[in-house]
Amino acid sequence: MQPTAEQIEQDLLRPLFHSSGKYWVAVAIAASLLLAGVAAFGYQLYAGIGVWGLNSPVFWAFDITNFVFWIGISHAGTLISAILRLTNATWRRPVTRCAEAITVFSVLIGAIIPLCHIGRPWLAYWMIPYPSERHIWPNFRSPLAWDFFAISTYLTGSTTFLYLPTIPDFAAVRDVSTGLRKKIYRVLALGWQGTPRQWQRLEVAMHIMAVVIVPVAVSVHTIVSWDFAMTLVPMWHSSIFGPYFVAGAIFSGIAALILAMALLRKFLHLEQYLRPIHFENLGKLLLTMSLLWFYFTFAERLTAWYGNSPPEMAVFWESIRKHFAPLFWTMVVCNFIIPVPILAIKRLRTITGTAIASATVVVGMWLERFLIVVPALEHKFLPYSWGTYRPTWVEDTLMASSFGMMALLYLLFSKFVPMISIWEMKVGLQSHGGVPMVAPAEGHVVLEGPQ
């Protein structure tokens, strides 16, 4: 029994107007994690970054691991949404906004982390290319300067890409609100009336963004990978890092998306909209990425092992059989051994199944980032100055608070914006065959033809 257009609006707008107690508990928990992080950061500013576990020679660890992790998570959103839009995969409709939201928030978190991890954060603005009183520009040869441009572009782009399709939904909220809420959403809706000309402009804008955001996303994580690959550090200096990181990002991003969707489905009662077929399709994508991840990992390790260069082998063995072996093999289990059977066997590729696989992938991908950063820094070229690393409570707190921040932003987003695009669901009602869609309400023009 397909929902009607009115039902769609009702279902998808309900979370904006009604929240359960559980919701507020979740917000409270997320907010406290975030506050703990702010406090920890304050302590770090006061006492010095020595409160972290970094040392000589491990100058990056949890900070950069989390940075790459969150930028990685961001890839699914926009990439899936953009690619699925460009390829006209209609099953994407309930998924796009959840995905795009993940992207924006994780890029935001990823952008904040470097600002917090530098030794003198109050001078972070020196990364901005402005004619400074110091008479120098940022060093454009530095991958960190590239990061700055790439991430700010990506943040701007993905925010735009998130915002554009929400305009008609903001208008929908505006139309059913009163008082202050109406005023706010009127501003957010940018005067949307749903005229054909506006629809056309929206479509063109979204199309442009979809096309543009793909190379931006690919370049962002490639540039992030070049923070490592552009150095001579053994096991960092590898040309595979660009594609490896992008593939890994998409991999972790899809996993995060599946997890987010599973949670939304349960807590916002979106069972009719986020259906098993969506999890199936995303699960298939996740399987593909898992295989791709395995291929890249295997290729990278095999070539290193075969080349047998002593500096590289020192790092190699640390992960494969020495100090980091437990983490490394956990990563392989999480990224490959558990997900592949679950995702390949149709009977297991359920919502629960894909959620479990995604959870392990998120853990595994975090471990992958950590295992790229730390073992290599611990074992560079001169063995006398090899080192070890252990995080402190400050780094643990900051990391936990990044998850808290993500959860909080996402929870708040779900309170102010319909998590599933109302107008796109209505558009989907119009189609024949394929996945059953929901028809648009009266007054909305159908833009998409039969699939």
For other proteins, give the closer residue by CB, 117 or 278: 117
Question: Which residues have a Cβ under 8 Å from the Cβ of 165 and sit 6 or more positions away?
Answer: 96, 97, 100, 202, 206, 421, 423, 424
Residue type, 421: S
Number of residues located near other proteins, criterion CB under 8 A: 54
Rule CB under 8 A: say whether 134 interacts with other proteins: yes
Nearer to other proteins, 141 or 432 (CB): 141
Among 102, 127, 260, 334, binds other proteins (CB under 8 A): 127
Does 55 bind other proteins (CB under 8 A)? Our answer is yes
126 counts as binding other proteins under rule CB under 8 A: yes
Stretch that binds other proteins, among 49-57, 67-75, 99-107, 341-349 (CB under 8 A): 49-57
Gap between the Cα atoms of 287 and 270, Å rounded: 24
Nearer to other proteins (CB atom), residue 381 or residue 393: 381
User: Cβ closer to other proteins: 168 or 311?
Assistant: 311
Interface residue with other proteins among 53, 194, 243, 436 (CB under 8 A) is 53
Residue (of 71, 16, 107) closest to 249 by Cα position: 71
**What residues from 381 to 400 belong to the interface with other proteins (CB under 8 A)?**
381-390
Of 23, 43, 59, 199, the one binding other proteins by CB under 8 A = 59
Q: Which amino acid makes up residue 80?
A: I
**DSSP type of residue 439:** P
Report CA 254 to chain centroid distance, whole Å: 8
Contacts for 339 with CB less than 8 Å, ≥ 6 apart: 286, 287, 290, 357, 358, 360, 361
Q: Residue 54 Cβ, how far from other proteins at the closest point, in Å?
A: 7
| Per CB under 8 A, 48 contacts other proteins | yes
Which among 18, 151, 148, 161 is positioned nearest to 81, based on CA atoms? 161
Of the candidates 136, 306, 347, 443, which one interacts with other proteins according to CB under 8 A?
136
- Give whichever of 23 and 43 is closer to other proteins, judged by the CB atom: 43
Specify the amino acid at residue 419. Answer: M
Per CB under 8 A, the segment of 7-15, 231-239, 291-299, 420-428 that binds other proteins is 231-239
CA distance 212 to 13: 30
Helices marked H in 268-392: 276-307, 310-320, 325-332, 339-344, 351-378
Please say whether the beta carbons of 414 and 264 come within 8 A.
yes
Chain residues in the site for other proteins (CB under 8 A): 47-50, 52-60, 114, 117-121, 123-124, 126-127, 134, 136, 138-139, 141-145, 148, 227, 230-233, 314, 322-323, 377-378, 380-390
